[in-house]
């Protein structure tokens, strides 16, 4: 099998087709984009169909639909189930984009657009790799696609879909590209993901906005109280103070931590890339540990009172924050959500009312690195990068990986091709053309090696 | 002198004319209303002119203009200088208004509109009281009007105007209605106001928004840091921890505090009106003390990160807050601004950058309650309310009162007719028709008594 000639011949079309997908603003978090999200599902269906699937269908859910497609060449051969998502993060803060988020442009070898990497670009590598295998008669096994539209808002309806379609989704392995590599010359495979609990809190003080002169000092200011409650959730060592928070945290051995510390990392370059004078985090852990084996608590958004131009002397009636915790293996998302809620409700002074609304969550996962599928992925990357990939735990969350394991009994291979610097979830998200094409080149080798290793 | 028959005959017109003024959205804090603010100055000029002034002019400043008008009947007679403002607070949060803020409506005896009380309604009482005295041949002394358009944004240009127009502004007393009474059956006169220092702070972490999974735990989250810094400014007794904050605070004697405690106040009614389970404030002080003789620190607005619908797993690059301190006599606004700035810059961890921008400030003031002017105001209220007014220290700030004293050597009489429940600076601001007409009735008596007492 030689994927390169086909890629070389078709790469401009591969990029143009991705541009078409990127032009549809499929922001699942904001209902004003509803029609666009639905339109994206249709587009993905057409693309999988024309790449060579036997059947493709749009499976409706209580939320956005799931695109399912398959090509079964022989039921006795192994089956790879590809998971991806066609929805994207909101583009805010939109004013920081140097080009409009839904008008993709090519700049310095990168494709700039919301979703360029996460996950339209990475998902579409699989569609094009499938086309390549079909066109070059090199598809060695069966393939199934399951592309959802609610990953960025918690995949609320995917679990139900999976539970109701176990027969249809039967496979030997799940293949996902929604992660990254350490660098273009340091390939890596993700073997761990953090879990997530995402909540929104509301603090209510007086029943209406008040004049800060006439009332200031005599009533609880919900913004001040919210700040105090957020500040109270961490101690001076940046340990999280929610009772029970660390109870279930997996403790790694000195050897495991020493092994992790071997991954290439430059603190100076890290700080320089983010323009930071200093890093900040839990005492007793390295930067790489803080973003992989340790849980976190971060405020993702806060608002209340007057935020316009100039000055307004007001005490707001309400203050709000969106807060998320990244979890590590053994911490159960629902349990952490409850611990947070209990703590927040108890910590509130009697002068305010608080409300906690869970948004979504998911479990942390560690994927096996001694499986046939891991080996196939490792060999495929070795083949195309010329270097064996490093197994690597990511700080991000793909909650559905744990769900696939529990519902379908299937492991996942997390073979992503993005970079940390791709600015996913940020303004000016981009994806390297090198990475996009490298993905399309590597994926067929995975199918080849996985099929071969499965036969042994 | 009998003001009531004239008021009775003209009250509908008085209300309609105020409605006209209220329809112009003169929000000085937001530059998009610039033309409206200027239009309001023109309208005020016309109203003072037609009420009977000899001359009225629009005096330009580096910001919004000041409307000046006068009626000099005899230079040997006393002169009252009326101060008011024609600008209003922003209407935000606009969705909480039950009727549009700039479409005044009458409901249950109240006029609802932004500025109904603060200060268009109260300022216009003086214009109509002037008209009344002119039409009933009862103006006993000279009158000057100085109505500005920048009170809600710190009166930045009023000081320069006053300094440059000392001769023009010569008077015996300044009369201001920009405060309130305790209740419609408990008249009061304001004898103290708090000072103000208003600042905006910005905390910058990483140079771009980051994915909270890939970076969470390893970099300073500017929202969390801002919350910690705000929380750190108060201790468990709600004392403000900024070094030197209380150094200059005037300490009242036990007798003075006992005298203050006699003012009618029901904590139960206070809590009920604001729907609070509990009050909240500095330990060791009563509610009335907390809003009058004690300084405060309140966050007036906070924002950062994702604040839209749904969930976005982002670590923001920047977080912001608007913070104000209310000050008491002897605390100097500029000094407090510096103390805050020094503290905030020093308290910032090395993992973030902070920026502090002062917005505006003003000095606290205590006005004499043994002067001829105070006596005249007290007698006027006694005449129209049938009850002697209680001298009362307000928690609000009218920074220009201290400036008038230092620049012009003039005391001010703070004879306001609003109520705490008027929701000034809040949605659904309103002003009682009772209060509006009571103001128009009371003001002429002030002129009469002040002129009589001045002769003695």
Domain closes at, from A362, A380, A411: A362
Q: Which pLDDT value is given to residue B259?
A: 83
Please give the average per-residue pLDDT across A440-447, as a whole number. Answer: 98
CATH number of the CATH domain containing A218: 3.30.70.360
Do residue A242 and residue A139 come from a single domain?
Answer: no
Most confident of A257-271, A379-393, B357-371: A379-393
Q: Which pLDDT value is given to residue B263?
A: 82
Interface touch B209/A31, C-beta < 8 Å? no
CATH number of the CATH domain containing A70: 3.40.630.10
pLDDT at B404 over 90: yes
pLDDT at B136 over 90: yes
Do residue A106 and residue A188 come from a single domain?
Answer: yes
pLDDT at B367 over 90: no
Q: Which pLDDT value is given to residue B204?
A: 98
Q: Which pLDDT value is given to residue A398?
A: 85
pLDDT at A99 over 90: yes
Domain closes at, from A335, A362, A389: A362
pLDDT tens digits, one per residue of A127-152: 999 999 999 999 999 999 999 999 99
Counting one residue from chain A and one from chain B, the pairs whose CB atoms sit within 8 A come to: 371
pLDDT at A394 over 90: no
Contact between residue A87 and residue A152 where contact means Cβ atoms under 8 Å apart: yes
Please give, one letter per residue, the 3-state secondary structure of chain A: CCHHHHHHHHHHHHHHHHHHHHCCCCECCCHHHHHHHHHHHHHHHHHHHHHCCCEEEEECCCCCCEEEEEECCCCCCCEEEEEEECCECCCCCHHHCCCCCCCCEEECCEEECCCCCCCHHHHHHHHHHHHHHHHCCCCCCEEEEEEECCHHHCCCCHHHHHHHCCCCCCCCEEEECCCECCECCECEEEEEECEEEEEEEEEECCCCCEEHHHHCCCCCCHHHHHHHHHHCCECCCCCECCCCCCCCCCCCCHHHHHHHCCCCCCHHHHHHHHCCCCCCCCCCCCHHHHCCCCCEEEEEEEEEECCCCCCCCEECCEEEEEEEEEECCCCCHHHHHHHHHHHHHHHCCCCCEEEEEEEEEECCEECCCCCHHHHHHHHHHHHHHCCCCEEEECCCCCCHHHHHHHHHCCCEEECCCECHHHCCCCCCCEEEHHHHHHHHHHHHHHHHHHHHHHHC
Do residue B356 and residue B399 come from a single domain?
Answer: no
Do residue A445 and residue A382 come from a single domain?
Answer: yes
Which residues form the domain of A145? 3-193+364-455
Shortest CA distance from A225: residue in chain B: B231
Do residue B40 and residue B117 come from a single domain?
Answer: yes
Please give the average per-residue pLDDT across B45-59, as a whole number. Answer: 98
Please give the average per-residue pLDDT across A173-183, as a whole number. Answer: 95
Question: Would B278 be classed as within a structural domain?
Answer: no
Q: Which pLDDT value is given to residue A154?
A: 85
What is the percentage of chain A residues whose pLDDT exceeds 70?
Answer: 100
Contact between residue B424 and residue A208 where contact means Cβ atoms under 8 Å apart: no
Do residue A431 and residue A334 come from a single domain?
Answer: no
Beta bridge partners of B194: none
Q: Which pLDDT value is given to residue B157?
A: 96
Q: Which pLDDT value is given to residue A420?
A: 86
Chain A interface mutation, best of B153, B232, B280, B331, highest count of A Cβ atoms under 10 Å? B280
Domain closes at, from B319, B346, B361: B361
Q: Which pLDDT value is given to residue A65?
A: 98
Active-site residue (options: A151, A152, A422, A429): A151
Shortest CA distance from A358: residue in chain B: B311
Q: Which pLDDT value is given to residue B264?
A: 84
pLDDT tens digits, one per residue of B213-268: 889 999 999 999 999 999 999 999 999 999 999 999 989 899 989 988 888 889 99
Q: Please, which pLDDT band fits residue B39 given cuts at 50, 70 and 90? A: very high
Q: Which residues on A lie below 8 Å from B277 (Cβ)? A: 350-351, 353
Question: Would B282 be classed as within a structural domain?
Answer: no
Residues in chain B: 456
Q: Which residues on A lie below 8 Å from B182 (Cβ)? A: none
Q: Please, which pLDDT band fits residue A177 given cuts at 50, 70 and 90? A: very high
Interface touch A214/B310, C-beta < 8 Å? no
Interface touch A306/B301, C-beta < 8 Å? yes
Please give the average per-residue pLDDT across A327-331, as a whole number. Answer: 93
pLDDT tens digits, one per residue of A157-172: 999 999 999 999 999 9
Question: Would A343 be classed as within a structural domain?
Answer: yes
Do residue B182 and residue B321 come from a single domain?
Answer: no
Q: Which pLDDT value is given to residue A68?
A: 98
Average pLDDT over all residues of chain B: 95
Do residue B325 and residue B380 come from a single domain?
Answer: no
Question: Would B261 be classed as within a structural domain?
Answer: no
Tell me the CA distances in angstroms from A75 to A232, A443, B215, one per residue in order. 57, 21, 43
Question: Would A348 be classed as within a structural domain?
Answer: yes
Q: Which pLDDT value is given to residue A339?
A: 98
Q: Which pLDDT value is given to residue B394?
A: 87
Do residue B188 and residue B200 come from a single domain?
Answer: no
Do residue B88 and residue B159 come from a single domain?
Answer: yes
Q: Which pLDDT value is given to residue B262?
A: 84
ipTM confidence: 0.82
Do residue B349 and residue B413 come from a single domain?
Answer: no
Question: Would A257 be classed as within a structural domain?
Answer: no
pLDDT at B85 over 90: yes
What's the structural domain count of chain A?
Answer: 2
Chain B interface mutation, best of A265, A298, A319, A364, highest count of B Cβ atoms under 10 Å? A298
Contact between residue A258 and residue A391 where contact means Cβ atoms under 8 Å apart: no
Q: Which residue, chain included where needed, has tokens 């399951």?
A: A146
Q: Please, which pLDDT band fits residue B341 given cuts at 50, 70 and 90? A: very high
Q: Which pLDDT value is given to residue A362?
A: 87
Does residue A282 carry a catalytic annotation? no
Taking the CA of residue A105 and the nearest CA in chain B, the distance in Å comes to 20
Average pLDDT over all residues of chain A: 95
Q: Which residues on B lie below 8 Å from A29 (Cβ)? A: 308-312
Contact between residue A293 and residue A258 where contact means Cβ atoms under 8 Å apart: no
Q: Which pLDDT value is given to residue B315?
A: 95
Does residue B87 carry a catalytic annotation? yes
Do residue A374 and residue A350 come from a single domain?
Answer: no
Taking the CA of residue A28 and the nearest CA in chain B, the distance in Å comes to 9
pLDDT at A262 over 90: no
Q: Which of B29, B231, B308 sits opposite A90 (nearest CB)?
A: B308
Q: Please, which pLDDT band fits residue A220 given cuts at 50, 70 and 90? A: very high
Please give the average per-residue pLDDT across B401-423, as a whole number. Answer: 94
Question: Would B420 be classed as within a structural domain?
Answer: yes
Question: Would B285 be classed as within a structural domain?
Answer: no
pLDDT at B93 over 90: no
Chain B interface mutation, best of A227, A267, A272, A362, highest count of B Cβ atoms under 10 Å? A227
Please give the average per-residue pLDDT across A15-24, as a whole number. Answer: 98
Q: Which of A29, A296, A313 sits opposite B311 (nearest CB)?
A: A29
pLDDT at B50 over 90: yes
Q: H or E stretch including B71? A: strand B66-71
């Amino acid at each position: 099998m030689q994927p390169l000639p086909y890629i070389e011949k078709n790469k401009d079309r591969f990029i143009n087709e991705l541009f078409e997908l990127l032009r549809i603003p499929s922001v699942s978090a904001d209902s004003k984009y509803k029609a666009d999200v639905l339109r994206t599902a249709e587009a993905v269906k057409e693309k999988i169909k024309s790449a060579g699937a036997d059947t493709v269908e749009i499976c409706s859910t209580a939320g956005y639909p799931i695109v399912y497609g398959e090509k079964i060449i022989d039921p006795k051969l192994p089956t790879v189930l590809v998971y991806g998502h066609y929805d994207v993060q909101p583009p805010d803060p939109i004013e920081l984009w140097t080009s409009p988020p839904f008008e993709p442009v090519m700049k310095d070898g990168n494709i700039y657009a919301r979703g360029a990497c996460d996950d339209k670009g990475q998902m579409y590598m699989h569609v094009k790799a499938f086309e390549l295998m079909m066109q070059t008669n090199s598809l060695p096994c069966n393939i199934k696609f399951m592309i959802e539209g609610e990953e960025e808002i918690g995949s609320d309806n995917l679990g139900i879909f999976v539970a109701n379609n176990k027969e249809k989704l039967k496979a030997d392995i799940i293949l996902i590209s929604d992660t990254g590599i350490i660098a273009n010359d340091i390939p890596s495979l993700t073997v761990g993901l953090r879990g997530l609990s995402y909540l929104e809190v509301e603090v209510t003080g007086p029943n209406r906005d008040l004049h800060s002169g006439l009332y200031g000092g005599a009533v609880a200011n919900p913004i001040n109280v919210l700040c105090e409650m957020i500040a109270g959730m961490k101690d001076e060592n940046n340990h999280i103070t929610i009772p029970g928070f660390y109870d279930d945290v997996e403790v790694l051995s000195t050897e495991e931590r020493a092994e992790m510390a071997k991954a290439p990392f430059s603190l100076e370059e890290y700080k320089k890339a983010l323009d930071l004078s200093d890093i900040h985090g839990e005492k007793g852990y390295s930067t790489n540990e803080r973003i992989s084996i340790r849980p976190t608590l971060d405020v993702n958004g806060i608002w209340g009172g007057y935020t316009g131009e100039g000055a307004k002397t007001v005490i707001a009636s309400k203050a709000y924050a969106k807060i998320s915790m990244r979890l590590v293996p053994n911490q159960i998302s629902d349990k952490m959500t409850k611990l947070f809620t209990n703590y927040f409700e108890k910590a509130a002074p009697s002068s305010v009312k608080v409300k906690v609304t869970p948004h979504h969550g998911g479990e942390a996962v560690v994927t096996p690195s001694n499986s046939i599928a891991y080996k196939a992925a490792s060999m495929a990357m070795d083949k195309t990068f010329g270097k064996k990939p490093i197994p690597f735990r990511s700080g991000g969350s793909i909650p559905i990986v744990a769900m696939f394991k529990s519902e379908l009994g299937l492991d996942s291979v997390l073979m992503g091709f993005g970079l940390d610097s791709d600015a996913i979830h940020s303004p000016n998200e981009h994806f390297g053309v090198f990475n996009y094409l490298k993905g399309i080149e590597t994926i067929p080798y995975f199918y080849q090696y996985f099929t071969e290793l499965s036969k042994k």
